[in-house]
Structure 1
Amino acid sequence: MLRWPSLHRPLDVLFLVTCVALTADVLIPEIWGNGKTKDYPLWFWAGQQVLQGRPLYPGDPNAYFEFIYPPLPAILLAVPSWFGKIPLYLVLSLLNAAAWWITSQLSNAMAGSGRVPDTWVAALPGFITLTFVFDMFDLGQPNLVLLAMMLAGFWWLQHGRALAAGSMFALATAIKVFPVAVLPWLVWRRHWMAAASMVACTGILLFLVPAPVRGFERNVAELSTWYRGMVGSSSEKGFGQRDAQNWSWVNQSIVAVTHRLTRPINWRQDDPAQPPQTMNVLDLDFATANRVVIAVFLAIGLGFIAVLPPPSKLTARSNAEELGILFCLMTIASPLSRQYYFMWLFFPITVLIHRAVYDPRPAARAATWIVLVLAGALMCLSLPLFPLYLQAMGNNLAATIVLVAGLVWHIRRPPLANDNVTNAVN
């Protein structure tokens, strides 16, 4: 099922044209305008810091970090940065284009419907998530590339290549930490080899790979500074170096939305020019709100375990639905889930589209379309047409919960064998 784009397929041509247009959005401002903004200059700065042997972080972990990622991504960025801004931006755009294609191919191949999807079925998830893809190119964020890495890891895991799967999960984690959430699932499902590979490779990528470039002791010191400034920092004001953003409307993680609903937080603190606005229904202190967050995570974790089928009843269909739920949970469990993080809903959406089209039960197909429409409507509330208050309330979080509900229904109520026979006869 996996294939290269073809110039003989109209939708493949549309994909390539779209990628060219999105790449132009990145390069034209840099070549003929005032320079590309968003995160692109930061990536060039990080690469240059490595090339020139300069520090990536300030000496004080409480000071402001320009670069909030582990040292490894800066090492990777240094190679194309050596050639200049335009080559770097072009490489990042090509990576996003390749990741978009790989994500679509792997998502459809792993959807568990037992069918080679029709062309429009295969393309529909890409149309639904197009605004997220635009963000990937426009902002220069790596979440789409990370999604392709994770899907490749699960593809290898399903095909008996546990070591390769673990190494891919490790690479994603070493670039942007939140994919580490896959590790508890690997342990629960007893994928011991993949889990061990992930842990070992993460250590290698964080501690050993940067050492020849930065020096072992310096890399350890920088990694320690990064950990204390990013992972080890949390207070009523915020966390992870971006206090003004992480409690505000831009963050739709479980952590942020729960705090906004349980504490009188100014959800417009991202813009000091705006008057303070709160949306809390409870008035808890910081510690109590954190206990509520822990309770929510515990309930979600136990609920996830409860719906998982036992190993003896696993099928390609249930595997797809299980991974769809896992991708949803990894997205919203990250302490920071900005708009572009929900690019990771691509795979769950693909699985549900396959169910909406190919499930042998007419009622199940109709109900799945309702789930998809409702989730899509909630995601549309992020458009500039609607007030920011709806995003502060967690419209994308709500859309993710709707998708999880649909996947849970399918994983708990698979079609019976006679349903498939009847559908084949019809």
Structure 2
Amino acid sequence: MLRWPSLRQPLDVLFLLTCLLLTADVLVPEIWGHGKTKDYALWFWAGQQVLNGSDLYARTTNGMLDFIYPPPPAILLAIPALFGKIPLYVVLSVLNSVAWALTSQLSNAMTGSEKIPAPWLAALPGFATITFVFDMYDLGQPNLVLLAMMLLGFWFMQKDRPWLGGGMFALATAIKVFPVAVLPYLLWRRRWAASASMIACTLLLLFVLPAPIRGYQRNIAEVKTWFSAMVGSSSEKGFGQRDEQNWSWVNQSVIAVTHRLVRPINYHLDEPRKPAQYMNLVSVDYKTANWIVLAVSGLIGLGFIWAIPARSKMTPRSTAEELGILFCLMTVASPLARQYYFMWLFLPLTVLMHRAAFDERPAVCKATWTLLGIVGALMLLSLPVFPSMLQAWGNNLLATAILAGGLIWHMHHPPASLVSPRLPAKLA
């Protein structure tokens, strides 16, 4: 059951204090310093462009678009931007705080363990992902808010409200397109209502709702500009208006790591002052590398289909593990998966922590905690004290694969004495 933070709970007080400190990281430089950097100024600019009726894609740096999102998020940003930078930054920080609380509560409620976790266990995934949370506030990125939306979508589906669930998936997709990866899963699981809702709401958010504000023809033109620049552009140099990042060490997606392994790519492309470094095991051309990516992605997809149970055999426990694997795959399937994208591992981490805490088999508990320790050690390799080479080789990608493997094992090896009622098809 979702609840408000309580001042009587020490961990809730710690959560609120942490949110205040992270919000201070956003506001102090703007009020008393030289202005908040990272993406915050861009969000204010985008909101002002909407308020002034100006072009969203007019500003470029080195020939690349500065604002690389579709029109709907700019329209949403315009509302608080009307009151100035500080109100906008406060709203974004509050959204991150609410999303963080929702993510924690929904993840703990959706583990299928049917047990109420102790406060320390409920808070443990938050401690494990605190560096990602810091990035959300510091950079001003929306990935934590998107995660909360996706979890809320699945929560609505489990509460027999698939149209609301599909609407949440659509809103996340209209803000930052990579959550669209959930649609093939919905179709495969024959969640027709949620799929239809997601498609319809995405079209409404992209083409209908912005029209009264931007004008129908102008909005269509802007959507075309965004699509051609972000989705329709791909070459050996890069994709999505961030060529210097696509193949560099900062990107740990399946696409990027595979290309770095099979093509002679300098993984310091985004740091031209550093000497070129390569990690390729073979040397193939760009087209062949794309075929290899397609084959690897296909094998991962087939492995997911093999791993998940038939609908008639789904239980609350297996559904939680299935969604955990899905969130792992959506994270690394995004063409650009920077460090903060791995915030989306919150749900799979929570599910495995519940398995480690509540499984009746001591050996399984110990092994699961060991697996989580290995995952944590791999993720720590992203800290700046370690060489970027480790991220180039995909430390977070490997951690994600280990998490998915642990979830698959638990899915196929539930405790012998556990008798879980089967979910109705509409809830599974």
State TM-score, norm by structure 1.
Answer: 0.97
Q: In the alignment, residue 243 of structure 2 is paired with which amino acid?
A: D
Deviation at residue 419 of structure 1 after TM alignment:
9.1
* 1:147-166 correspondence to structure 2 within 5 Å: 147-166=147-166
Q: Which moved more, 1:275-284 or 1:31-40?
A: 275-284
Q: In the alignment, residue 78 of structure 1 is paired with which amino acid?
A: A
Residue 66 of structure 1 corresponds to 66
SS of the aligned residue for 1:41 comes to: helix
Residue 425 of structure 2 corresponds to none
Residue 323 of structure 1 corresponds to 323
Residue 424 of structure 1 corresponds to none
Structure 2 CA distance for partners of 1:261 and 1:418, relative to 1, 3 Å = closer
Q: Give the conservation status (yes or no) of the 8 Å contact 1:361–1:419.
A: no
Q: Give the conservation status (yes or no) of the 8 Å contact 2:267–2:276.
A: yes
Q: What is the aligned length? A: 419
Deviation at residue 248 of structure 1 after TM alignment:
0.4
Deviation at residue 59 of structure 1 after TM alignment:
10
SS of the aligned residue for 2:190 comes to: coil
Residue 265 of structure 1 corresponds to 265
Residue 311 of structure 1 corresponds to 311
Residue 173 of structure 1 corresponds to 173
Q: Which runs of 4+ in 1 moved over 3 A?
A: none
Q: Give the conservation status (yes or no) of the 8 Å contact 1:360–1:419.
A: no
SS of the aligned residue for 1:417 comes to: coil
Residue 46 of structure 2 corresponds to 46
Q: Give the conservation status (yes or no) of the 8 Å contact 2:59–2:67.
A: no
Deviation at residue 201 of structure 1 after TM alignment:
0.3
Deviation at residue 417 of structure 1 after TM alignment:
2.2
* 1:7-406 correspondence to structure 2 within 5 Å: 7-58=7-58, 63-406=63-406
SS of the aligned residue for 2:64 comes to: coil
Long gaps (5+) in structure 2: 421-428
2-side partners of 1:63 and 1:72: how far apart?
A: 23
1-side partners of 2:418 and 2:10: how far apart?
A: 37
1-side partners of 2:64 and 2:308: how far apart?
A: 42
1-side partners of 2:179 and 2:413: how far apart?
A: 29
Residue 426 of structure 2 corresponds to none
Deviation at residue 63 of structure 1 after TM alignment:
4.1
1-side partners of 2:340 and 2:406: how far apart?
A: 22
Residue 424 of structure 2 corresponds to none
Deviation at residue 367 of structure 1 after TM alignment:
1.1
Q: Give the conservation status (yes or no) of the 8 Å contact 1:255–1:293.
A: yes
2-side partners of 1:158 and 1:413: how far apart?
A: 23
Deviation at residue 362 of structure 1 after TM alignment:
1.2
Q: In the alignment, residue 101 of structure 1 is paired with which amino acid?
A: A
Q: Give the conservation status (yes or no) of the 8 Å contact 1:58–1:64.
A: no
After superposition, what is the alpha-carbon deviation per residue over 1:213-235, rounded to whole angstroms, capped at 9, x for unaligned?
A: 10011000000011001101111
Q: In the alignment, residue 232 of structure 2 is paired with which amino acid?
A: G
Q: Give the conservation status (yes or no) of the 8 Å contact 1:6–1:13.
A: yes
2-side partners of 1:371 and 1:205: how far apart?
A: 41
Q: In the alignment, residue 303 of structure 1 is paired with which amino acid?
A: G
State TM-score, norm by structure 2.
Answer: 0.96
2-side partners of 1:286 and 1:158: how far apart?
A: 43
SS of the aligned residue for 2:65 comes to: coil
Residue 423 of structure 1 corresponds to none
Residue 423 of structure 2 corresponds to none
Deviation at residue 361 of structure 1 after TM alignment:
1.2
1-side partners of 2:317 and 2:361: how far apart?
A: 15
Deviation at residue 58 of structure 1 after TM alignment:
4.0
2-side partners of 1:101 and 1:40: how far apart?
A: 22
Q: In the alignment, residue 168 of structure 1 is paired with which amino acid?
A: M
Residue 416 of structure 2 corresponds to 416
Q: Give the conservation status (yes or no) of the 8 Å contact 2:59–2:65.
A: no
Q: In the alignment, residue 40 of structure 1 is paired with which amino acid?
A: Y
Q: Give the conservation status (yes or no) of the 8 Å contact 1:166–1:196.
A: yes
Structure 2 CA distance for partners of 1:66 and 1:116, relative to 1, 3 Å = same
Q: Give the conservation status (yes or no) of the 8 Å contact 1:328–1:345.
A: yes
Structure 2 CA distance for partners of 1:247 and 1:183, relative to 1, 3 Å = same
Structure 2 CA distance for partners of 1:293 and 1:44, relative to 1, 3 Å = same
Q: Give the conservation status (yes or no) of the 8 Å contact 2:210–2:219.
A: yes
SS of the aligned residue for 1:317 comes to: helix
Q: Give the conservation status (yes or no) of the 8 Å contact 1:371–1:402.
A: yes
Cα-Cα RMSD:
1.3
